[in-house]
Amino acid sequence: MTLVAIGANLPGPDGVAALETCRRAVAALDALPGLTLKGLSRWYETEPIPPSGQPPYINGVALLTGEIDPAALLTALQAIETQFGRVRGEPNAPRTLDLDIVAIDDLVRAAPDPVLPHPRAHLRAFVLAPLADVAPGWVHPALGKTAAALLAGLPPQGIRVRSAPG
């Protein structure tokens, strides 16, 4: 099981809203060789972390099955981001699309990239809430807690359900 976080808070290069960009990114994930989309969370609207005055994000999590090397997946995700107009600049900058590998099965690794599970996923409601939707039985392989338990331990982070999956 591979879990990929999806987010955007700027219009896509063709002017479509962030939610539509995220939906199109899901189709691109499903087209990756060796992987099949098996689940998609609801879409959430979330406040930027840290607070910065930028527009709210749309966030979700996709569950994929199949075999792929983590480095190859990272390269593929970055190519999809580029296709959707992502420009890499300063950390936490607004973006047209952000795709992060949250976890691949129970793999734990500090290096090489990607670090797994994602080193900050357990601190982010915008990852944990949609992850709990799509993989309620998932347990963080290093912390031994479910997404719901991790989410319950976080302070409020400005998150609300925006729409159903799809």
- Does pLDDT of 90 surpass 80? no
Q: Over range 65-81, report the average pLDDT.
A: 94
| Range in 61-70, 86-95, 130-139, 152-161 the model is least confident about | 86-95
Share of the chain above pLDDT 90, in %: 70
| CATH architecture label of 2-163 | 2-Layer Sandwich (3.30)
Break the chain into its structural domains and give their ranges.
2-163
Measuring CA to CA, how many Å separate 138 from each of 48, 99, 102, 121, 123?
25, 19, 11, 13, 16
For residues 101 and 2, the answer to whether their CB atoms sit within 8 Å is yes
Q: Tell me, what's the pLDDT at 87?
A: 76
Q: Tell me, what's the pLDDT at 92?
A: 67
pTM: 0.92
For residues 5 and 118, the answer to whether their CB atoms sit within 8 Å is yes
